[in-house]
Amino acid sequence: MAVARLRSLGAWKALERHFAEVRGVHLRALFAGDPGRGERLVAEAAGLYLDYSKQRVTDETLRLLVALAGECGLRERIDALFRGDKINATENRAVLHVALRAPQGRRIFVDGADVVPHVHAVLARMADFAERIRSGAWTGHTGRRIRNVVNVGIGGSDLGPVMAYEALRAFSARDMTFRFVSNVDATDFAEATRDLDPAETLFVVASKTFTTQETMANAHTARAWCLAALRDEAAIARHFAAVSTNAKLVREFGIDVANMFEMWDWVGGRYSMDSAIGLSTMIAIGPARFREMLAGFHAMDEHFRTAPPERNLPVLMGLLAVWYTDFFGAETIAVLPYDQYLKRFPAYLQQLTMESNGKSTTLAGARVDYETGPIYWGEPGTNGQHSFYQLLHQGTKLVPCDFVAFARSHHPLGRHHDLLMANVFAQTEALAFGKTADEVRADGTPDALVPHRVFEGNRPSSTILAEQLTPAILGALVALYEHAVYVQGVVWDVNPFDQWGVELGKQLAGRIVPELESDAEPTLAHDSSTNALIRRYRAQRRPAG
């Protein structure tokens, strides 16, 4: 029987001993003992500046974490990723999101065929289509130009597109409306389309498999919505495009394959925002900006592939997550973007991180005997400060934080940006250094209140700072997290690229649907709770009388 081996590695054992020595060391002491720490424990790449000096690490911690990565074979695993090896072993697939942003002329092989020319061919087709929509050269069935684009997809076929659209709104065609329908809850479709004119609306049905229940339900509803107004099957060809690997099902749905943009099984859903799944993004920001975004991804890819571990941003961030998860026992990591445009970034990261590393079986099939993927969560600042930051500062849980901020705002209005940035810096400072009882007393605080107003500090954070949120910077930022997740996966010895954990619920729902839809009272053979819930739903779903 396979056995998880991580805890038996020399570097792991050394980290355990080291942790016992440093767990109580306060960031105040680390900074006091090393005046240059704030300028030393930083790294920079692809326009991103990472300050990790406010993390609870010493030089020795970093050395040992890098040694751990070495013992886990990180170098070879990075090479395997970029080579196109079938590192998604449980699905026997290559994992080549890096090929999606490889410049022309790079050669990356899957099963003996260079995939880069295919990537660029699809990008060129997308660019042509996007330009025609944006310029008005492409018209709807009645001859009106397309003003609304609705992306219909879920999971990896939704979260990337919606996050990127929101992030890059400042670069988007402002005379167009972009909406995203994902949930099988009809409210999502109804609210997204209620004020749209079908004659001016294009649906992009984004589904790698073209079988996903939610997306197919929404796509069929979209079709009916379109036909109810336009009353002609021929309209579908003007109002629907598809992104998929499955031409057969796209054709069967009635979408002209001339409007289908291809992707490949070596692109994982949550790693697909710069494949054709990004078609809505490209229509929003235009092909040139889209290419800038890809260049940002690629710059981070190159950094990840070539930089030494101690200066490698994704390696450092991945290892820090391991340090907190497995040694400090931290269960969550907060991602706190101080930019309103990144409001969907935490949700995007939740899929990227948790669907990737929320695993408990090693590649060889053993049950892990250590903690893996932490829970990622967050909200844009400063809103969170007036809500959950209380727990970050004074709660009993250790929550490492990633702050993300930009030197220049797209909206330099009055004092806003200085106020915003003052808050970022203040939060990282308060978390790290806190406020001692003596300092609280010195403010004149009555004795009884002193314990309530003490901030222990020693709460770790990183700050990621960039000049401005541009397409290239967004690309670099997403690639940073993609690769950090890979680093974690390598150490935890899990496959970050499958998602078997989403299957059981799908299967069971498939069995329950007919039980809900049948007219006759079905014979239910679930547990007593599920049976009772189904019965109650059937009894209550029609309004009385």
Query: Considering the rule CB under 6 A, would residue 279 count as an interface residue with ligand G6Q?
Result: no
Q: What SS3 state is found at 145?
A: strand
Stretch in the footprint of ligand G6Q (CB under 6 A) among 148-156, 181-189, 450-458, 504-512: 148-156
Determine contact, residues 293/141, Cβ cutoff 8 Å.
no
Stretch in the footprint of ligand G6Q (CB under 6 A) among 150-158, 291-299, 471-479, 481-489: 150-158
Please state the closest distance from residue 269 (CB atom) to ligand G6Q, in A: 2
Stretch in the footprint of ligand G6Q (CB under 6 A) among 75-83, 267-275, 382-390, 483-491: 267-275
User: Quick one: 172 or 218, whose CB is closer to ligand G6Q?
Assistant: 218
Helix (H) or strand (E) holding 461: strand 461-468
Determine contact, residues 249/210, Cβ cutoff 8 Å.
yes
Cα separation, 486 vs 305, in Å, equals 12
Tokens of 102: 């490889």
Instruction: Select from 43, 149, 154, 321 the one that contacts ligand G6Q (CB under 6 A).
Output: 154
C-beta atoms surrounding 24 within 10 Å: 8
Instruction: Select from 90, 209, 445, 530 the one that contacts ligand G6Q (CB under 6 A).
Output: 209
Stretch in the footprint of ligand G6Q (CB under 6 A) among 3-11, 209-217, 458-466, 517-525: 209-217
Q: Where are the beta strands (DSSP E) in 250-391?
A: 260-262, 332-337, 375-377
User: Quick one: 88 or 193, whose CB is closer to ligand G6Q?
Assistant: 88
Query: Considering the rule CB under 6 A, would residue 268 count as an interface residue with ligand G6Q?
Result: yes
Instruction: Select from 47, 84, 140, 155 the one that contacts ligand G6Q (CB under 6 A).
Output: 155
Please state the closest distance from residue 383 (CB atom) to ligand G6Q, in A: 27
Instruction: Select from 207, 362, 463, 470 the one that contacts ligand G6Q (CB under 6 A).
Output: 207
Cα separation, 8 vs 12, in Å, equals 7
Query: Considering the rule CB under 6 A, would residue 208 count as an interface residue with ligand G6Q?
Result: yes
Please state the closest distance from residue 294 (CB atom) to ligand G6Q, in A: 19
Cα separation, 396 vs 198, in Å, equals 53
Strands lying side by side in the sheet with 177-181: 177-181, 148-152, 201-206, 240-244, 260-262
CA distances from 479 to 336, 397, 491 (A): 17, 29, 18
Cα separation, 244 vs 211, in Å, equals 10
Please state the closest distance from residue 281 (CB atom) to ligand G6Q, in A: 15
Residue closest to 45 by CA, chosen among 271, 273, 291, 302: 302
Beta strands at 177-181 and 201-206: parallel, antiparallel or unpaired: unpaired
Query: Considering the rule CB under 6 A, would residue 269 count as an interface residue with ligand G6Q?
Result: yes
User: Which of the residues 157 through 176 are near ligand G6Q (CB under 6 A)?
Assistant: 157
In the block, residue with structure tokens 């509803």: 221
Backbone φ/ψ region at 84: left (φ over 0), alpha (ψ -120 to 50), beta: left
In sequence order, the β-bridge partners of residue 241 are 204
Q: Report the catalytic residues.
A: 355, 386, 506
Query: Considering the rule CB under 6 A, would residue 212 count as an interface residue with ligand G6Q?
Result: yes
DSSP codes, 32-98: HT-TTHHHHSEEEETTEEEE-TTSS--HHHHHHHHHHHHHTTHHHHHHHHHHT---BGGGTB---GG
Please state the closest distance from residue 31 (CB atom) to ligand G6Q, in A: 40
Query: Considering the rule CB under 6 A, would residue 93 count as an interface residue with ligand G6Q?
Result: no
Instruction: Select from 53, 215, 281, 463 the one that contacts ligand G6Q (CB under 6 A).
Output: 215
Q: Between vectors from CA 388 to CA 382 and to CA 393, what angle results, nearest 5°? A: 95
Instruction: Select from 134, 270, 298, 459 the one that contacts ligand G6Q (CB under 6 A).
Output: 270
User: Quick one: 205 or 491, whose CB is closer to ligand G6Q?
Assistant: 205
Query: What string marks each residue from 332 to 371 as x (binds ligand G6Q by CB under 6 A) or -?
Result: -----------------------x----------------
Please state the closest distance from residue 482 (CB atom) to ligand G6Q, in A: 12
Please state the closest distance from residue 284 (CB atom) to ligand G6Q, in A: 19
Query: Considering the rule CB under 6 A, would residue 156 count as an interface residue with ligand G6Q?
Result: yes
In sequence order, the β-bridge partners of residue 48 are 45
Please state the closest distance from residue 211 (CB atom) to ligand G6Q, in A: 7
Query: What string marks each residue from 488 to 517 as x (binds ligand G6Q by CB under 6 A) or -?
Result: -----------x------------------
Determine contact, residues 485/358, Cβ cutoff 8 Å.
no
Give how many residues touch ligand G6Q by CB under 6 A. 15
Q: Which residues bind ligand G6Q (CB under 6 A)?
A: 153-157, 207-209, 212, 215, 268-270, 355, 499
